[in-house]
Amino acid sequence: MNSAVGAMTTGPGRIIMMLAGIVILCVCLYYLYKYLNGAAEKADMVVFSNSSGGLPGQDATASEFKVQPSSGSGTNAVAGSSQIPAIYKGGEYSVSIWIYVANWGINANKNKTFLTIDGGGGNFNTLQMYMGASTNKMGIRVSTQSPNSKNPMLFTGTGTNASIQGTLNAGQASPYSDGEQDFLQGDLQAVDLQKWVHVCVVLSGRRLDVYMDGKLTRSVVLGSMFDVDGNGSTYKMKVGGPNGFGGLIGQINAANFAYTPDRVWALYNNGPEDTSIWTQFLKYFDPGQYSFSLKRNGETIASGSTPS
């Protein structure tokens, strides 16, 4: 018995135990990494963590979330980063967003674009979400690989490929009018005003599902696969901007796979603000915004404020 124990603690036995320990440690670290970061092929990201009330639904410039490719080399190298998941033609993609429409007078009689996603090619958007011109309809349009007059490409250029926003600004121009004949693709007939509303768009090949307040509201089969401009390395999401609505945009999530009904329901139950324990903890150490002044003999000689 003693000889067996001695064999395990010296020589080959000790080496075997050390190797087994290293293997077990590597396996544990691997599963810890998978738990913290998820599978590499799947990304479910918080695009905007709403801990400050929300983004403006309409502003001089849109809030932009995008990929920052790696650049430079050596000491000047800048690592790449991604604020939204990749999107590829005909694949799967999900977007969850909270909106609060407060002032209908902003961009009156115009369709009010509040979210776009494109592949970075500069020619068309893959997804465009907007509020109606004169009614509380929500337009949810997708560029497909076989567009037609009722479901054209969501061009962002000029000339032959005139910008869709020009047509949207016309208010009642087909196929983006408030009329029943232009109730197309993923459009929602009515969205409540002056309250937080959760909308989730799920793309999967030719299928387009739209959830409102956690429940499936529209499910359509597109004429062909959804299309993406660019190669997926410079994709970006724009939120709000000059053509948006008067109100706020809350928590935004996006994934490069199709959300299940359970996942959509969970996002709805989470609400429009970030209520994670970590965010609540950090608030206790957030100094907020303070003003200060330095006086000499009763005269202010320096003043300022801290960033909010």
Q: What's the Cα-to-Cα distance from 71 to each of 77, 79, 86, 133, rounded to whole Å? A: 6, 7, 19, 42
**pLDDT value at position 290?**
38
**Structure tokens belonging to residue 11:** 């020589």
Q: Where are the domains of the chain?
A: 2-37, 44-70+79-283
**pLDDT value at position 195?**
95
Question: What are the DSSP calls for 1-15, one per residue?
Answer: -HHHHHHHHSHHHHH
**Structure tokens belonging to residue 245:** 């609505």
Burial of 141 (0-12, 13-18, 19+ CB in 10 A): buried
Cis peptide before 175 (omega within 30 of 0): yes
**pLDDT value at position 291?**
40
Taking the C-alpha atoms of residue 280 and residue 267, their distance in angstroms, rounded to an integer, is: 18
pLDDT per residue, tens digit, the chain (308 aa), is: 555 545 455 566 778 788 888 888 887 776 665 555 544 478 899 999 988 789 999 999 999 998 766 555 555 554 556 899 988 899 999 999 999 999 999 999 999 999 999 988 889 999 999 999 999 999 999 999 999 988 999 998 766 677 888 889 887 888 999 999 999 999 999 999 999 999 999 999 999 999 999 999 999 999 999 999 976 567 899 999 999 999 999 999 999 999 999 999 999 999 998 765 544 554 445 444 434 444 445 554 344 443 34
**pLDDT value at position 121?**
82
**pLDDT value at position 185?**
94
* Phi and psi based region of residue 159 (left: phi greater than 0; alpha: psi -120 to 50; beta: remaining): left
Pairing of strands 207-212, 299-305: unpaired
Where are the extended beta strands (E) located within 16-58?
A: 44-48, 55-56
**pLDDT value at position 34?**
54
| Cβ atoms of 126 and 144 closer than 8 Å | no
- For domain 44-70+79-283, give the fold: Jelly Rolls (2.60.120)
**pLDDT value at position 247?**
96
**pLDDT value at position 226?**
96
| Cβ atoms of 79 and 178 closer than 8 Å | no
Taking the C-alpha atoms of residue 94 and residue 159, their distance in angstroms, rounded to an integer, is: 32
Question: Which ranges in 114-163 belong to alpha helices (H)?
Answer: none
**pLDDT value at position 144?**
96
**pLDDT value at position 171?**
76
| Cβ atoms of 133 and 110 closer than 8 Å | yes
Phi, psi dihedral angles at 184 (to 5 degrees): -125, 170
Taking the C-alpha atoms of residue 83 and residue 237, their distance in angstroms, rounded to an integer, is: 9
**Structure tokens belonging to residue 291:** 């003003």
DSSP three-state, residue 19: helix
Element (H, E) at 277: helix 277-283
Of 288, 241, 304, 306, nearest to 52 (Cα)? 288
